[in-house]
Amino acid sequence: MKLALRTAARLVLVALAGVLVAGAVAAAPAQASDPGTNVVGGTRAALGEFPWMVRLSMGCGGSLVHPQVVLTAAHCVSGTGNNTSITATLGVVDLQDSTAIKVNSTYVLQAPGYNGTGKDWALIKLASPVNNVPLATLATDGSNDNGTFNIMGWGAASEGGAQQRYLLKAQVPFISDATCKAAGGSYSGLVDAEEICAGLTQGGVDTCQGDSGGPMTKTVNGTQIQVGIVSWGEGCARPGKPGVYSQVSGMYTNIKAGLDQLTGTVPPGGCGKSFTNGTDVNIPDNTTVTSTVTASGCSGAASGSSKVEVHIVHTYIGDLIVTLIAPDGSRYVLHNRAGGSADNINQTYTVNLSSETANGAWKLEVADKASADTGKIDTWTLTV
C-alpha cells in the first residue's frame, strides 16, 4: 500500500508510513493499540474490518471467497495444477500475530487463457476449510464499478519500499477506462471488460508491489462488494498513473465457473486439450484391439469431466466392450455390449479422470466378444 503524505504545512514524507492524502481518509479509525511502527497520519486496518483478507506466502494478497478457496491474481501464481507450496494467512492484521490462521494450498487454478494481459485472476484451493471467517462477496455485475473504493494490503508502503507487517488500507476513486487509457504506455492496452482503474489524479494513494491479488471493494449499504483484484500500475501512486485492478464483474462468470470446479460441482483439473487418433484399426471377430493417443502439454491432472468421442464402424455393437485405458493402466469402461444388433458407435462419453495425470499415452481398447460381425475403430478424440 503506497500511502504518501502531502500537506502544504509539512513536507515530511515518511517512507515507512502509510499516510493518506487529505481527502482520501478512510472511514474507520486506526487500531487503538498502535504498536508504534511509525504510521504517520495513515490508517492501519482494524481487526475485522476486512475479515476475508488473505496474505499469501509468495508475497501477494487474496480474498477468501469460499471456506476453502482464495481469490488472487493470475500473475501471483505459476499456472494451473496441484500446488502445495503456498501458505495462506488469515484472520489477522498483524502478520506476526500468533493467533493467525495458516493453511496450505492444494491446488491452483490460473485463469484459463491468461497471457499477461487482462484475465488477472486465479483461485487457490486450501487443504482444509477455514471456518468462522467471513467470505468476500464478489461483484456479479458492473453496478458497483464506480465511486470510491477501499484498497488494502501488506505490500510496499512506497514505490520500491518494504513489505508491511500490519495491514494498511486507503480509499481511491474510480477512473474511467477512457481516462485510464489516456495515461499512455501500457495503459493504452487496457482490456475494458477485464480491468478497472482507480486512483487520484494527483497520485499519492495506491496499491503497490505485494498488494497484488488483494481485493478492491466498494462499501454498499455498510457491506463491502469486491469489485477488483490488485493487478498492476506504472510505479506506485505516481500522478496520472492509476492503479489497475482486475474487473471482477466482467469476469464473474469465469471466476464462478472456476470456483465450482474447485469446490466439487465439477471435479478439478483438466487442461482442455484434445488428442485424436484417426487411423483406422480393424476389429476382427473375438479379438481385442487398441488405438493410442499421446496427451502432452498439460500440467497436472486430467479433467473431472473429460470427454471421449468415439466413432466405431461395426455391424453389431452388442458384440463390443469399449474401454479407455489411462497412461497408468487404469480402466474406464465406456460401452459394455449394449445396443444389441445396432450398427456403429458414434458417441461422446464424459468421464471423471481427475485422479489421472493428463499427460501420457491413452488407449481406446475395443474387444469384440462374438463371431460373425466385424468393424473398425474409425477415429476417436480424448479431451483431458
Which residues are catalytic, by number? 75, 120, 212
Of 292, 283, 274, 309, the C-alpha closest to 377 is 283
In whole angstroms, the minimum distance from the beta carbon of 159 to ligand ARG comes to: 8
Residue 235 beta carbon to ligand ARG: minimum distance, rounded to whole angstroms: 6
Q: What sign has the CA pseudo-torsion 234, 180, 1, 72?
A: negative
| Residue carrying the nine cell digits 495425470 | 357
Cβ 255 to ligand ARG, closest distance in Å? 19
- Helices and strands per DSSP (H, E), number in the chain: 2, 24
Q: Which is nearer to ligand ARG, 238 or 311 (CB)?
A: 238
Interface ranges with ligand ARG (CB under 6 A): 155, 206-212, 230, 232-233, 236, 243
Contact 64, 136 (CB under 8 A): yes
The rounded distance, in Å, linking the Cα atoms of 126 and 135 is 14
Q: Which is nearer to ligand ARG, 230 or 353 (CB)?
A: 230
Chain residue whose CB lies nearest ligand ARG = 233
- Between 211 and 368, name the residue whose CB sits nearer to ligand ARG: 211
Cα-Cα end-to-end distance for the chain: 41
Lookup result for grid cell 468462522: 132
Q: Taking the complex as a whole, how short is the minimal distance between the CB of residue 107 and ligand ARG, in angstroms?
A: 21
- Residue 348 contacts residue 317 (beta carbons within 8 Å): no
Identify which of residues 216 and 351 has a Cβ nearer to ligand ARG in the complex. 216
Provide the residue type at 180 as one letter: C
**Closer of 121 and 232 to ligand ARG (Cβ):** 232
DSSP 139: P
CB of 207 to ligand ARG, least distance (A): 4
In sequence order, which residues have a C-beta less than 8 Å from that of residue 265 and are 6 or more positions away?
Answer: none
